[in-house]
Protein backbone atom coordinates (compact mmCIF):
# COMPACT_ATOMS: atom_id res chain seq x y z
CA UNK A 1 0.00 0.00 0.00
CA UNK A 2 1.17 3.53 -0.77
CA UNK A 3 0.41 6.02 2.03
CA UNK A 4 0.87 9.78 1.88
CA UNK A 5 1.48 11.43 5.24
CA UNK A 6 1.00 15.15 5.84
CA UNK A 7 2.58 16.62 8.94
CA UNK A 8 5.24 13.95 8.53
CA UNK A 9 7.97 15.89 10.29
CA UNK A 10 5.98 16.50 13.48
CA UNK A 11 6.36 14.33 16.59
CA UNK A 12 3.35 12.15 15.68
CA UNK A 13 4.04 12.24 11.96
CA UNK A 14 7.55 10.84 12.34
CA UNK A 15 6.24 7.93 14.40
CA UNK A 16 3.49 7.35 11.84
CA UNK A 17 5.97 7.20 8.96
CA UNK A 18 8.23 4.89 10.96
CA UNK A 19 5.36 2.53 11.81
CA UNK A 20 4.07 2.51 8.23
CA UNK A 21 7.50 1.61 6.87
CA UNK A 22 7.89 -1.12 9.50
CA UNK A 23 4.54 -2.54 8.38
CA UNK A 24 5.83 -2.82 4.79
CA UNK A 25 4.08 0.15 3.20
CA UNK A 26 5.47 2.62 0.70
CA UNK A 27 5.30 6.11 2.20
CA UNK A 28 5.33 9.64 0.82
CA UNK A 29 6.30 11.97 3.68
CA UNK A 30 5.25 15.56 3.06
CA UNK A 31 7.14 18.25 4.94
CA UNK A 32 8.06 21.90 4.48
CA UNK A 33 11.65 21.07 5.47
CA UNK A 34 12.66 17.83 3.73
CA UNK A 35 16.34 18.20 4.63
CA UNK A 36 15.40 18.07 8.31
CA UNK A 37 13.47 14.81 8.01
CA UNK A 38 15.40 12.18 9.99
CA UNK A 39 14.19 8.94 8.41
CA UNK A 40 15.58 7.21 5.32
CA UNK A 41 14.29 4.03 3.68
CA UNK A 42 14.06 2.56 0.18
CA UNK A 43 10.26 2.59 0.55
CA UNK A 44 10.21 6.25 1.65
CA UNK A 45 9.77 9.27 -0.61
CA UNK A 46 10.34 12.62 1.09
CA UNK A 47 8.75 15.56 -0.70
CA UNK A 48 8.70 19.25 0.02
CA UNK A 49 5.20 20.60 0.37
CA UNK A 50 2.98 22.99 2.28
CA UNK A 51 -0.72 22.26 2.78
CA UNK A 52 -1.44 25.87 1.77
CA UNK A 53 -0.03 25.05 -1.69
CA UNK A 54 -2.80 23.20 -3.54
CA UNK A 55 -0.53 22.15 -6.42
CA UNK A 56 2.08 20.69 -4.08
CA UNK A 57 -0.62 18.85 -2.15
CA UNK A 58 -2.04 17.33 -5.34
CA UNK A 59 1.41 16.16 -6.45
CA UNK A 60 2.00 14.50 -3.07
CA UNK A 61 -1.36 12.71 -3.14
CA UNK A 62 -0.98 11.36 -6.68
CA UNK A 63 -0.61 7.57 -6.63
CA UNK A 64 -1.59 7.14 -2.98
CA UNK A 65 -3.95 4.44 -1.74
CA UNK A 66 -4.63 6.34 1.48
CA UNK A 67 -3.85 9.78 2.89
CA UNK A 68 -3.15 10.42 6.56
CA UNK A 69 -2.85 13.83 8.20
CA UNK A 70 -0.86 14.28 11.38
CA UNK A 71 -0.85 18.05 11.02
CA UNK A 72 -0.37 19.93 14.27
CA UNK A 73 0.53 23.42 15.40
CA UNK A 74 1.15 24.92 18.86
CA UNK A 75 -1.30 27.11 20.70
CA UNK A 76 -1.23 30.78 19.77
CA UNK A 77 -3.21 33.99 19.92
CA UNK A 78 -3.19 34.60 16.18
CA UNK A 79 -5.80 32.99 13.93
CA UNK A 80 -4.95 29.40 13.00
CA UNK A 81 -6.06 28.03 9.62
CA UNK A 82 -3.68 25.14 8.90
CA UNK A 83 -6.22 22.46 9.84
CA UNK A 84 -9.13 23.80 7.79
CA UNK A 85 -7.15 24.99 4.77
CA UNK A 86 -5.08 21.83 4.87
CA UNK A 87 -8.18 19.64 4.95
CA UNK A 88 -9.77 21.53 2.09
CA UNK A 89 -6.70 21.24 -0.12
CA UNK A 90 -6.01 17.61 0.78
CA UNK A 91 -9.58 16.51 0.13
CA UNK A 92 -9.66 18.39 -3.18
CA UNK A 93 -6.41 16.72 -4.20
CA UNK A 94 -7.78 13.31 -3.26
CA UNK A 95 -10.92 13.85 -5.34
CA UNK A 96 -8.76 15.00 -8.25
CA UNK A 97 -6.56 11.92 -8.02
CA UNK A 98 -9.27 9.36 -7.26
CA UNK A 99 -8.07 8.58 -3.72
CA UNK A 100 -10.85 7.84 -1.23
CA UNK A 101 -9.36 6.84 2.16
CA UNK A 102 -8.47 9.67 4.53
CA UNK A 103 -7.81 10.00 8.25
CA UNK A 104 -6.78 13.03 10.28
CA UNK A 105 -5.97 14.04 13.84
CA UNK A 106 -8.39 16.18 15.83
CA UNK A 107 -8.91 16.27 19.63
CA UNK A 108 -11.20 14.87 22.29
CA UNK A 109 -11.41 18.43 23.63
CA UNK A 110 -13.88 19.18 20.84
CA UNK A 111 -16.46 16.85 22.41
CA UNK A 112 -16.32 17.17 26.22
CA UNK A 113 -19.92 15.91 26.43
CA UNK A 114 -18.81 12.51 25.14
CA UNK A 115 -17.77 11.47 28.65
CA UNK A 116 -15.37 12.15 31.52
CA UNK A 117 -11.64 11.91 31.03
CA UNK A 118 -9.57 13.16 33.91
CA UNK A 119 -11.71 13.79 36.98
CA UNK A 120 -12.95 17.04 38.53
CA UNK A 121 -9.66 18.97 38.33
CA UNK A 122 -9.22 18.19 34.65
CA UNK A 123 -12.86 18.50 33.56
CA UNK A 124 -13.87 21.61 35.47
CA UNK A 125 -10.65 23.59 35.79
CA UNK A 126 -7.88 22.62 33.39
CA UNK A 127 -9.70 21.66 30.21
CA UNK A 128 -11.91 24.79 30.02
CA UNK A 129 -8.84 27.00 30.36
CA UNK A 130 -6.91 25.02 27.75
CA UNK A 131 -9.78 24.96 25.24
CA UNK A 132 -11.23 28.43 25.74
CA UNK A 133 -8.09 30.44 26.50
CA UNK A 134 -4.74 28.97 25.42
CA UNK A 135 -6.14 26.81 22.62
CA UNK A 136 -9.09 28.91 21.50
CA UNK A 137 -7.75 29.60 18.01
CA UNK A 138 -6.44 26.06 17.54
CA UNK A 139 -9.64 24.30 18.54
CA UNK A 140 -11.77 26.69 16.51
CA UNK A 141 -9.84 25.68 13.40
CA UNK A 142 -10.04 22.00 14.33
CA UNK A 143 -13.81 22.39 14.39
CA UNK A 144 -13.74 23.95 10.95
CA UNK A 145 -11.60 21.05 9.76
CA UNK A 146 -14.05 18.49 11.14
CA UNK A 147 -16.94 20.24 9.39
CA UNK A 148 -15.07 20.15 6.07
CA UNK A 149 -14.09 16.50 6.45
CA UNK A 150 -17.49 15.20 7.57
CA UNK A 151 -19.21 17.02 4.70
CA UNK A 152 -17.03 15.26 2.10
CA UNK A 153 -18.00 12.17 0.11
CA UNK A 154 -14.71 10.41 0.85
CA UNK A 155 -14.13 7.51 3.25
CA UNK A 156 -12.86 9.70 6.08
CA UNK A 157 -12.08 8.95 9.70
CA UNK A 158 -11.43 11.62 12.31
CA UNK A 159 -9.18 10.48 15.15
CA UNK A 160 -9.55 12.29 18.48
CA UNK A 161 -6.77 11.67 21.00
CA UNK A 162 -6.74 13.00 24.53
CA UNK A 163 -3.78 15.07 25.80
CA UNK A 164 -0.65 13.98 23.96
CA UNK A 165 2.58 12.81 25.54
CA UNK A 166 5.70 10.91 24.45
CA UNK A 167 5.62 7.23 25.38
CA UNK A 168 8.04 4.38 24.88
CA UNK A 169 6.09 2.56 22.17
CA UNK A 170 2.67 1.31 21.09
CA UNK A 171 0.57 0.02 23.99
CA UNK A 172 -2.76 -1.79 24.34
CA UNK A 173 -4.62 1.50 24.06
CA UNK A 174 -8.37 2.09 24.29
CA UNK A 175 -9.92 2.76 20.89
CA UNK A 176 -13.63 3.21 20.09
CA UNK A 177 -16.16 5.36 18.30
CA UNK A 178 -16.41 8.88 19.74
CA UNK A 179 -15.30 8.22 23.34
CA UNK A 180 -12.70 6.41 25.42
CA UNK A 181 -11.90 7.19 29.06
CA UNK A 182 -8.50 8.53 29.93
CA UNK A 183 -6.99 12.00 29.91
CA UNK A 184 -3.90 11.23 27.82
CA UNK A 185 -2.78 9.52 24.61
CA UNK A 186 0.78 8.64 23.69
CA UNK A 187 1.90 9.82 20.27
CA UNK A 188 2.95 6.28 19.41
CA UNK A 189 -0.57 5.01 20.10
CA UNK A 190 -2.09 7.87 18.09
CA UNK A 191 0.21 7.10 15.16
CA UNK A 192 -0.82 3.45 15.33
CA UNK A 193 -4.52 4.31 15.19
CA UNK A 194 -3.91 6.56 12.19
CA UNK A 195 -2.05 3.77 10.42
CA UNK A 196 -4.89 1.35 11.12
CA UNK A 197 -7.24 3.66 9.24
CA UNK A 198 -5.19 3.17 6.08
CA UNK A 199 -5.19 -0.59 6.55
CA UNK A 200 -8.85 -1.11 7.43
CA UNK A 201 -12.24 0.53 6.91
CA UNK A 202 -14.05 -0.38 10.15
CA UNK A 203 -14.42 3.26 11.14
CA UNK A 204 -14.90 4.79 7.71
CA UNK A 205 -17.06 7.94 7.93
CA UNK A 206 -16.89 7.89 11.73
CA UNK A 207 -15.16 9.77 14.52
CA UNK A 208 -13.03 7.64 16.83
CA UNK A 209 -11.31 8.31 20.13
CA UNK A 210 -8.08 6.88 21.48
CA UNK A 211 -6.50 7.04 24.92
CA UNK A 212 -3.52 5.22 26.37
CA UNK A 213 -4.08 2.69 29.13
CA UNK A 214 -0.45 1.79 29.89
CA UNK A 215 2.20 4.23 31.05
CA UNK A 216 0.00 7.31 30.81
CA UNK A 217 0.82 10.08 33.27
CA UNK A 218 -1.65 11.35 35.82
CA UNK A 219 -2.99 14.88 35.48
CA UNK A 220 -0.70 16.00 38.32
CA UNK A 221 2.34 14.39 36.67
CA UNK A 222 1.58 16.08 33.35
CA UNK A 223 1.27 19.46 35.03
CA UNK A 224 4.67 18.92 36.65
CA UNK A 225 6.22 17.91 33.34
CA UNK A 226 4.80 20.87 31.45
CA UNK A 227 5.39 23.47 34.14
CA UNK A 228 8.68 22.33 35.64
CA UNK A 229 10.16 19.82 33.21
CA UNK A 230 10.03 17.08 35.83
CA UNK A 231 9.08 13.44 35.31
pLDDT tens for 120-160 read: 555 655 666 566 655 689 999 999 999 999 999 999 999 99
Do residues 52 and 26 make contact, with C-beta atoms less than 8 angstroms apart?
Answer: no
Q: Residue 69: which residues within 8 A CB-CB, separation 6 or more?
A: 5, 6, 7, 86, 87, 90, 102, 103, 104, 105
Q: Give per-residue pLDDT as tens, 179-210.
A: 998 889 999 999 999 999 999 999 999 999 99
Q: How far, in whole angstroms, is CA 96 from its chain's centroid?
A: 23
The reported pTM is: 0.90
Going from N- to C-terminal start, the domains of the chain cover: 2-228
Q: Which CATH superfamily is domain 2-228 in?
A: NAD(P)-binding Rossmann-like Domain (3.40.50.720)
Amino acid sequence: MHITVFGANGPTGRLLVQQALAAGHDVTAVTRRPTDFPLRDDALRIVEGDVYDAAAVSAAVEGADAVLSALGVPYGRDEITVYSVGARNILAAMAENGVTRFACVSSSALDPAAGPHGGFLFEKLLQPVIVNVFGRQLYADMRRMEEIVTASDLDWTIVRPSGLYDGDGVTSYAYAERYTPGAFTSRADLANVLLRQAEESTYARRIVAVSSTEGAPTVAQMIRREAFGKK
